[in-house]
Every structure is written in C-alpha cells, then in structure tokens.
Structure 1
Amino acid sequence: MALASRRPASLLALAALLSVVGLLAGPAAATGKTGQVTVFWGRNKAEGSLREACDSGTYTIVIISFLNVYGRGKYSLDLSGHPVAGIGDDIKHCQSKNMLVFLSIGGFGNRYSLPTSKSAADVADYLWNAYLAGSRWGVFRPFGDAAVDGIDFFIDQGSPDHYDELARRLWSYNKGYRARTPVQLTATPRCAFPDRRVERALATGLVGRIHVRFYDDPSYDASLQREWDKWTAAYPDSEIYVGLPASEQTVGYVHPKKLYYDVISVVQKAANYGGIMIWDRYSDKRTNYSSYAKGWA
C-alpha cells in the first residue's frame, strides 16, 4: 500500500484545529472508537526503555519483539541491543497501568520454524515456562518472575505447518484458571488476504486480536477497504486492528490527515474494529504519529 508522504511541521496545528472544530470524533466513525493503540517495541535500542514507552500515555498494548529463534530445541531473543535486565520490572510497571504486554514470536529472520507436532508442543511448553505464568526447574526466565499477557504470532517466513497446534497448546494452559486467561493470543499478518503463514493459527478461533500490516508488503495490490473488509468478514469474533507505520520512510505510510479522512472513516465501520497498531516505537518516538492515532482510534 504505497501511500508515502512527508510529515510537515504543521501537523500539530492540524490536530489542534480538528479538535477545536469538533472533528476528532469523526462523523461516521464516532460509534466505532475504541481508543486502543498497539505498538511494537524492541526493534531499536534508541527507542528507549519499555517503561518509557508505557509512560508515553499513547499506547494500550505493547508487543515485545522478537523471540526469533525457536522450533529446533534452541531459543533466542533479539531485542536490538536492549539489556534484558530490568525488562521484567518494566513489564510489571506497564501492567500496573492496565496495559497489556505481549511477546511476539517470529519476525523477519529465518531461524524459526515448527517442523513437527512435537516441536509445536515443545515451543508451547517453553513459552509457558519461560515467559508466561508457568515455571519449571531448569527453564530460564529472561524477564524473571514477570509474565507477559500473551503471545503474538508474527510469522513472516517459513512454513505455516503446526502453528494451529502451537495456538491450541498455548491456549490449553488457560484451563487451570478460573475467570482469567493468562495466555492471550494475537497475530500480525501481512495485509493481502489471506496470509497463508498464519491462516491455520487463525482458523483455531483462539486469536483474539489480529493486527493487519497495511504497509511494506510487496504482494499488496488492492485498496485498503477491500482487504480490510476481507479480514473483518473472515474473523468476526476477533478484534481487527489496522497496522500502520509511524515512519514516513516506510512504504504504506499514511499522512495523519489521510489517516483521519480516508482510513479511520473506513475501518471503524466494522463491528469488530479493534484499534490501530503502530510500527514501531522507535519511529513513533521520532514522529509522534501515535498522538494522532490515539485521538482518532
């Protein structure tokens, strides 16, 4: 979705003007506002700490990215040079502010896969005991006793095999708890529908939030509304988020004015509209794009 545009210095004035004239609610979008803004954190050390992201006041969900090695008995985090020490306390801080914190698995590399059903079971067991509410002797917890709220499937490479089994196995850990789900599942597919790499996982019906990446996808050759309608129709029981880049240098960037008039007015008509996903915290810290998204989401 190539909608590249530069961000003029007058955008703050634009937002203020829209607020003054009462347009922030939006004529067709008012009933669809959720106020939910998801951001990906962990892709650039210069973005600041997780705590700082949560204290910005513009996000409701933060996704730590990525656990980018798994599936063959080895596991590794890639947090772009962020020191792991202290992230556990930051997770707790974010959660104390009623924010959800997820861990995203996959990413842009090629060092992850689920070659067998056993590997899916092993990865689920590892995630439960290393990052979620479980604990088992011999399993190191990088974030200490802090537990993320769930797992995000960002499967950009490799085979789609066994991700449905991984989703079911992760969800099964909820059976031991009443009135709460210590394992929530989200997915972040490419915008062109369907995304075959996560299709099987989504077919389980266990993925509560789907962040559709309407950017940086060479296979995308259709209108946003057409693809958005496909996603929202296919998964009526999931909350669908429109994923947008905060950097004007990323293909698919939507100028805030266009975001308000051409995107928000479209996506908020869906009954299962969830909110806006921002890629990523580093770019957003520079452009302050989420300040507009927050007001209109």
Structure 2
Amino acid sequence: MAPRAMAHRSNTATLLAVLSVAAIFLAGPVSAAGKTGQVSVFWGRNKAEGSLREACDAGTYTMVIISFLDVFGHGGYHLDISGHDVAAMNADIKYCQFKGVPVSLSLGGFGSSYSLPSSKAALDLFDYLWNSYFGGSKPGVYRPFGDAWLDGIDLFLEHGSPNDRYDVLALELAKHNIRGGPGKPLHLSATVRCGFPPASHIKRALDTGIFERVHVKIYENGQDDKKCNVYGAWQDAWDKWTAAYPATRFYIGLTAEDKSHQWVHPKNVFYGVTPVVQKKENYGGVMLWDRYFDKQSNYGTYIKSYA
C-alpha cells in the first residue's frame, strides 16, 4: 500500500494519474441505448432468501451485492448478513465467480454506526477492506470469507455529513484496482436515492468520476425524497443523474416486494420504465431489492427479459 502521505497530495498531476489508472481498469459505459440484460441484486438481508450459491444458480442475476458492512469509520468493523453461514461463503463466492457472476460488498445500510469523518478514516477503511476481502494479506487481519477475493465495493449510504471522505476511499480503491490482474476490474458502484442532486457526501465521491455504476432507487426513498419515486418525478431525476455522470452506467433500482406500495408491475416496467431509461446511452440495467423478495415474487425472471 502506498504511503499515506501520497494520499493527501492534491496537485492536479496526481489526481490525473489516479483517474488514468481508473480509466484503464474500470469498465466504460455501454456504447448505445437499449437492452443490456444486466440485473444486479442485493443479497444478505434475510436468511430465508437462501444461500449465495442458490442466488447465483437462479440464472437471473449478473451481479450479486452482499449487504452490509454496516459499522466502519471509527476503528471498528461489523459485517451483518442476517445469520447466513459465513463458513460457506468462501466456496459460494468462488462458485459464483466461476459461473461468471461477480460478487460485491455493500458498505453502509440503514443503521447509524458508520461514517468516514476524515481522510485517515477513509484510508483505514481501505486498508481493512483490502486485507479482509481483496488482495491484501496483512498478518493478524481476519478474512471472513477466507481466501476468496470479492469483485467490488458498493456504497449504500443512507446517511452522512459533508465531512465524510468517501472520495478518498474511492480513489484509493481505484489506485489498487488489481483484483485479478489486467482485465479483471474491481467494480465500484453506489446505490442512491432517486432525488437529484445527491447529498454532499455522496456527490463528493461520485464527482471523482471513477464509479463504474450507480443504482438509482425509485422506491422507498424516505420523507426527503417522497416526490421522487414510482409515482413522482423519477424520470426528470433520471435525466439529471445520467447527464451529470456520462461515463457511469446507470441502473434503475426497483423493489421485488410485490406487497410494497412502490412495487411496479412487470407490465408497467415493460411499458413505462424500460422505454424511458433505455434511451440513455449510459443505461446499464436493473437493480433489484432484494433476493429475499425476489425469491417470493419471482419478479427478476420477468424483468430480466427486458432489462
């Protein structure tokens, strides 16, 4: 890992060098509008959803995102995957990767025990992630999933402050983007509320320009975003998101919970959602929340055919 002093250099040449590294390793946007067949799903929020291996065997998903690492930023770390057998994860992750389904880890979630209040906290988190879930091997650092290497990091930041330095974390991940050698990128994504512009802590990270994908949720965005959902001005927000970050792939975030008041019937996705989102050249696909609900409703099976 580069000396920490290097992470604090702010001159233009250093930033351009980092972005050049990111450009080499991070996949670019799709070249044209239209279907991609890409469906990402969150896994880890309910033990009844079945194993990670079962999710990858469903044939529906092109990426699975483990949720969540829900404590970080103050020297402590906690992984919450709802009672799933951690001992089985090593083999399951490798199995998914063998089948061509990358597996990412989502940071944050709905709790309040995470933040990155300084550059040092961000670099500490990077050091922990790199040695616990990726290519590092620092003595004494516990690897929950053994020698399995994950494929990416997702930022699911339901709260934060202007002082949070997720931009430092993102840039450090980009500088170490060597997951499996050349041609095997470390996928960097963010899952955001529909409303635009985003909160300052998220915007600071996205403004680095190195995020491969952003999942824009048009469901259950809280009181602050109550107008930006399936019944509100999500199309206007989608236009703004995709225009603001043209080098990033954008995924429309849908809930697979058919009892939710913001569930979109597959027919309405076909006629009212995908024709809109696929007009953008940087459309990436669909993100589903989550595997548990999708297992109940089989929603992803319908959605995949026109994602």
- Please tell me the TM-score bracket, short chain as reference: 0.7 to 0.9
* Partner residue, 1:44: 46
TM-score when normalising by structure 2: 0.84
CA contact (8 A) 1:133 1:182 kept: no
Q: Does 1:254 align with 2:264?
A: yes
> What corresponds to 1:97 in structure 2?
99
Letter in 2 for 1:54: C
Aligned residue for 2:177, secondary structure, equals helix
Give the deviation of 1:38 after TM superposition: 0.3
> Which ranges in structure 2 are unaligned for 5 or more consecutive residues?
1-31
Answer whether contact 1:132 1:182 (CA < 8 A) is retained. Answer: no
Asked whether the equivalents of residues 67 and 103 of structure 1 are also in contact (C-alpha less than 8 Å), the reply is yes
Are 1:37 and 1:58, in contact at CA under 8 Å, matched by a contact in 2? yes
Q: Pick from 278, 294, 301: which aligns with 1:291?
A: 301
2:269 maps to amino acid? L
Report the counterpart of residue 24 of structure 2 in structure 1.
Answer: none
| SS of match in other structure, 2:193 | coil
Question: CA-to-partner distance for each residue in 1:185-235, whole Å, 9 max, x for gaps?
Answer: 100011111221411111111110101111101314142211111111111
Pairing partner for 2:70 from 64, 68, 71: 68
Indicate which of 206, 209, 218 corresponds to 1:205: 209
Please name the residue that 1:170 is paired with.
Answer: 173
251, 264, 272: which one pairs with 1:241?
A: 251
| C-alpha distance 291-146 of structure 1, shift in aligned 2 (>3 A) | same
The CA deviation at 1:177 is 7.8
Matching residue of 1:129:
131
Equivalent AA in structure 1 for residue 36 of structure 2: T
Partners of 1:182 and 1:60 lie apart in 2 by 15
**What amino acid maps onto 2:80 in structure 1?**
D
For residues 72 and 38 of structure 1, what CA distance do their matches in structure 2 show? 30
RMSD over aligned CA atoms reads 1.6
Per-residue CA deviation, residues 31-63 of structure 1 (Å, 9 max, x unaligned), is 601000000000000000000000000000000
Count of residue pairs the alignment pairs up: 268
Contact 1:191–1:220 (CA under 8 A) maintained in structure 2: no
Match of 2:182 in 1: 179
**Matching of residue 188 in structure 1 with residue 191 in structure 2:** yes
Structure 1, unaligned runs of 5 or more? 1-29
Structure 1 distance, partners of 2:179, 2:283, is 30
